[in-house]
Structure 1
Amino acid sequence: MVLIEKRELRKVLHPHYLTNIILALSFILLKSISPICAVTFIPYLSSACMITKLGNVILFAASDPVYCVIYIALCVLQLLLLPEPTYSGPEAIAYYKGADLDEEIARDKRVTWLVELYTVWSPPCIDFSSVFAELSNKYSLPNLKFAKVDLARNTDTATKYKINTSTLSKQLPTLILFENGQESMRRPIVNHQGKLVKFTLSYDTVVSEFDLNNVYEECKKNPIKDKKEKKEKTT
């Protein structure tokens, strides 16, 4: 059986179908243009696959419910047997429950913390995990620490920091910088009108927006001194 006949191919070459194809592929085509490109490719690919699979479910259901059930079963098996790959390389990150992190931050306010609030099922969080690990390896100090909190397991933390953890949420992941025991900045943020200010999380944008190079230098110039060191100097 031929997938497309010559007669149908002539119809496909009609401007209507050609413009439809161009519009459908417009995002991928515009990815190569830096002023327009504002998201990384992997989260887009994951979202595109999810939307396409939902469309296939509707098409299979309209065609034959039996095929629809089989297709859904295959999608579930794919998620279980072939989950999205996660970063497993070196990192200098501490994983906390929400309450434990609050206690740790309050215990020594001389320590600066960069905290990622995430969920394990969010494609943007999965994509950003390697970037956050790379940042922790480069900038981690005894008084500049990196931490992560899983909001799916710590819903109280999500409520406390007013982060929407729904499937369509654009607040995942959220990065918060704590200085002197207090939140000093976060990205992305919600403005006074209650609208989320768009922010692309990447290595360069995080370093630039959180001024990590200067934060690192300041922490390096002012290391935390142990009580033993203080006693030795006084004697």
Structure 2
Amino acid sequence: MSFKKDLKLLVKPYYLINIFLSVSYILSKRIPVICNYIFAQDDCELDGRETEILFFLMIVIMIRTRKTGSVTMINYLTSSFVYTKVANLILWFYADVRMGILFAFIFILCALVLPEPTYQGPENVIYLRGANGLQEELQRDTKVVWLVAFYTAWNPACVTFAPIFSELSAEYALENFKFGKVDIGRYPDAAAKYHVSDASTSKQLPTLILFKDGKEVERRPYADHKGKLVKFLFSLDNVKAAFDLNNIYNDRKKNPIKRKEKKSLKAE
């Protein structure tokens, strides 16, 4: 199902144009007609320096996509676009300064005109205002279970995880099982209180914390007994398994908030 969704997304202009820009130099070098016209040379082969740049690019993409927790084809593409386009920019400048300037103009224009498509599906997420906002919700009714994502808007792993969290909220959210998000870039007090690093090199972004009876009972990623952070891949199935969402959902559904409790909550 995930692969089919990815194929549907690939036909969107953002992905098509970015894929073309990412392979533009190689295509121009390897297709004789284009190569002869642009580079005015009969030998349409990559030289040693160009091969080195492309090989270095492959290593960078592999490292960065692993760090961002990319688990689908679209995730890999999105994570790699910046690096592939920068590499193409360097290659075009290396071949011809004029072509480099033209590519840079197209690069910037596409970034301005074609932003990355955002998740458009259903979601049931409550956006919380810092540590106080979260604490108020936790104390409002301790019978409500909360799964809260701590994130920043600029972190690639958080951007990748956002649609997954939205899908989970649409599937599992109930009146007594809620999904919340806290932007610790805007509310650093929440980062400090719940011990989530918002540094640019942080390996704790995003962080998911499960609250029961108003208290933290589970989080990912977590630190082991030596204080070392245990890596966690934020895929749909991994989150479901790690937080036992199916059992929580079934338990919460069997034990809904009673009407009297609802009235008292409204009175408050």
- Structure 1 range deviating more: 125-134 or 54-63: 54-63
Q: Indicate how the Cα distance of structure 1 residues 155 and 47 shifts in structure 2: closer, same or farther if over 3 A, else same.
A: same
User: How do 1:82-231 residues align onto structure 2 when only pairs under 5 Å count?
Assistant: 82-98=114-130, 99-227=132-260
Q: Does 1:45 align with 2:77?
A: yes
Q: 1:24 aligns with which of 44, 49, 58?
A: 58
Q: Which amino acid aligns with 1:178?
A: F
Q: What is the percentage of aligned positions where both structures have the same residue?
A: 45
CA contact (8 A) 1:86 1:129 kept: no
Q: Deviation of residue 46 (structure 1)? A: 3.0
CA contact (8 A) 2:70 2:76 kept: no
Partner deviation per Cα, 1:149-168 (whole Å, 9 max, x = no partner): 11221121122222233444
Distance 1:229 1:79, change over 3 A: closer
The CA deviation at 1:117 is 1.3
Higher helix share: 2
Q: Aligned equivalents of 2:89 and 2:167: distance in 1?
A: 38
Q: Structure 1: where are the runs of 5+ without partners? A: 32-36
Structure 2 stretches lacking a partner, 5+ long: 1-34
TM-score, normalised with respect to structure 1? 0.72
- After superposition, the Cα gap between the structure-2 partners of 1:58 and 1:154, relative to the gap in structure 1 and judged at 3 Å, is farther
C-alpha separation between the residues in 2 aligned to 1:48 and 1:145? 33
Residues in 2 aligned to 1:5 and 1:222: alpha-carbon distance in whole angstroms? 74
Q: Report deviation, 1:76.
A: 5.0
Say if 1:230 and 1:88 are closer, same or farther in 2 by CA, change over 3 A: closer
Q: Do the aligned residues in 1 keep the contact of 2:146 with 2:179 (CA within 8 Å)?
A: yes
CA distance in 2, matches of 1:70, 1:9: 22
Change (3 A) 1:132 1:153: same
Secondary structure, aligned partner of 2:121: coil
Check whether the contact 1:43–1:124 (CA below 8 A) recurs between aligned residues: no
Q: CA RMSD in A?
A: 4.1
Letter in 2 for 1:86: T
Secondary structure in structure 2 of the residue aligned to 1:110 = coil
> TM-score, normalization: structure 2?
0.65
Contact 2:222–2:230, Cα closer than 8 Å, also in 1: yes
Q: How many residues align?
A: 219
For 1:34, the equivalent position in structure 2 comes to none
Cα drift, residue 53 of structure 1: 4.4
Q: Within 2, Cα distance between the matches of 1:64 and 1:10?
A: 14
